[in-house]
Amino acid sequence: MKQDASFFEGKDPVLIYIAKKLREALRLEGALAEAGIDYGVETDQYSGGVLFKSLRTGAFFYVLPETAEAALQAMQQHGFKPHVE
C-alpha cells in the first residue's frame, strides 16, 4: 500500500524504480499494491537524454529494505526492470 513520508521516518528506504511517465507509475503502483507491499513515491529530478542531456521529473519509488526483495519480484512479474545504483 502507498505510504506517506512519515512511514519512512528513521528508516533507510531503498530506491527500486524511477518511473518516467505517469502511465508507468500508475502501473507500478498497481503491481505493488496487488502484492501487498508498502511503498513510498515522490517526484524528483533525474538526468535524461543521450545527446542532449536535460533534467526531467519522474516518480521515484521506495520500499523498506526488508521488503525490497518481494518488491523486486513483483516488479519483474509485471515487466519492470528494477533501478540499479
**pLDDT tens-digit series, residues 32-41:** 999 999 999 9
Longest Cα separation, the chain = 40
Residue pLDDT, tens place only, 41-72: 999 999 888 888 999 999 999 999 999 999 99
Distance from C-alpha of 78 to C-alpha of 53, rounded to nearest angstrom: 29
| pLDDT band (50, 70, 90) for residue 85 | low
Whether residue 34 contacts residue 73, with contact meaning beta carbons closer than 8 Å, is answered with no
Give the global pTM.
Answer: 0.90
Whether residue 73 contacts residue 20, with contact meaning beta carbons closer than 8 Å, is answered with no
Whether residue 80 contacts residue 17, with contact meaning beta carbons closer than 8 Å, is answered with yes
- The number of folded domains in the chain is 1
Distance of CA 48 to the CA centre of its chain: 17
Looking up residue 68, the CATH number of its domain turns out to be 3.30.70
| Residue 12 domain boundaries | 5-77
Which residue is it, cell 523486486? 72
